[in-house]
Amino acid sequence: MCDYEPSGMPIILALQGAFAEHQTTLNNLANKSCTKVKSMPKLLSKLVRTPAELAECDALIIPGGESTTMALLARISGLLEPLREFVQRKPVWGTCAGAILLAESIEGSKKGGQELLGGMAVKIGRNGFGSQIDSFEAPLLCSPEAVALTKRPEEFVGVFIRAPVVLGITEDPSRPKIQVLAKISPEALPKSEDATDSTTPEDDPRLIVALRQGHLVLTTFHPELTKDDRFHEYFVLEVVMPTFSAPPTPS
Ligand SMILES: NC(=O)CC[C@H](N)C(=O)O
C-alpha cells in the first residue's frame, strides 16, 4: 500500500543546466524494485519553467548549470519570488549551481552581484575549486547517519565541475540543525599558494560537499551525472516523503 499521497510532485527546475539528467535519474529510480519509490510514480519527471507549474509541486530539484544565468532567467519568468517562498516551506535539493542559489551568502559573485534564493545557513564560494579545467572526480565519504547514502558498499564518486565550495556554516539553535551528508578528502582541496602548512584541519568547511538543513539539501557536485542514484534516493525517501507522512501541525 502506498503510504504517500502526493498532491503534486517533486519537479525539476528547468530554466537552464542539467535538468534532463536529473529527470532521467528520477525516472530510473521509479522503475527500480524499491516498493516505496515505486508506489509513487506520480512523483517523478516533471519540469518546471513557470510560476503556475511551481505552484503544483511539493518538492523541487534545482540542477547544476550557471547560477547567475539561472537567477536571471528565474527573475525574467516571474519565478524568483515564488521560488524564495517555496524554499522556506517545501523540500528543495540544489546541486552545484542550485547549491549556490540555496546559500544565504556567497563569495565570488559576478560583477553587479547575484540574486540568491537563500534558505540554508551557509556561505558558499563560487568556482571554489578553480575554473572548468580544474573540474575533477573524487570519492566521497558519506556520513553514517544518512543511511540511504551508506548502505551501498561501493564508494560514491562525486563529479565536480566548476564546483562551489562551502566556506562556512552558521549554527543557529532556532533553525534546523545542519547535517553533513558527505565530505571529500583533504587531498582534493586546491592548495593555496601562500600556504605554509599543508595540513587541512578535519573541521575545515571546504571538505563538506553535501549537507542538509531540515527540508533543504545541497550538494556541490553533480550526482545526476553518475550512474549511482543514492543521492536521489536519499532526497526522495528521507527528505521528501517524511514531509508528507508527518502529522499535520495543529493550528
Ligand atoms: N556545474 C555547475 O553547476 C557550476 C556552477 C557555476 N560555477 C556557477 O557559479 O553557477
Coil, strand or helix: which one is 91? coil
Mean pLDDT of 51-64: 91
pTM: 0.89
Mean pLDDT of 148-176: 91
Cell numbers given for 150: 551508506
Scan for cell 583533504, then name that residue: 186
Closest to 35 measured CA to CA, from 241, 194, 183: 241
Cell numbers given for 82: 515564488
pLDDT of residue 86: 96
Between 41 and 199, whose confidence is greater? 199
Closest to 179 measured CA to CA, from 187, 171, 188: 171
Choice from 126, 133, 224 to test ligand 1 binding pocket (greatest atom count within 8 A of CB): 126
Ligand 1 contact, 16 CB (< 6 A): no
Cell numbers given for 141: 565519504
Contact between 127 and 108 under an 8 Å Cβ cutoff? The reply is yes
- Residue 44, pLDDT above cutoff 60: no
Cell numbers given for 123: 556561505
If you measure from the C-alpha of residue 101 to the centroid of ligand 1, how many angstroms do you get, rounded to a whole number? Answer: 10
Chain segment 175-223, per-residue pLDDT in tens? 999 999 999 998 888 776 665 666 778 889 999 999 999 999 999 999 9
How large is the ipTM?
Answer: 0.95
Closest to 14 measured CA to CA, from 45, 47, 46, 43: 47
How many Å separate Cα 14 from the centre of its chain? Answer: 15
Mean pLDDT of 104-118: 88
Domain ranges (residues) in the chain: 10-189+203-245
Name, in order, each residue with C-beta under 8 angstroms of 170's C-beta and a sequence gap of 6 or more: 104, 121, 122, 123
Active site residue ranges? 96, 222, 224
- Residue 7, pLDDT above cutoff 90: no
Q: Where is average pLDDT lowest: 40-44, 159-163, 223-227?
A: 40-44
204, amino acid identity: D
Q: Kindly report the CATH number that applies to the domain delimited by 10-189+203-245.
A: 3.40.50.880
How many CB atoms sit inside 10 A of residue 19's CB? 23
Maximum alpha-carbon separation in the chain: 60
Closest to 126 measured CA to CA, from 100, 150, 91, 157: 100
Ligand 1 contact, 91 CB (< 6 A): no
* Mean residue pLDDT across the chain: 85
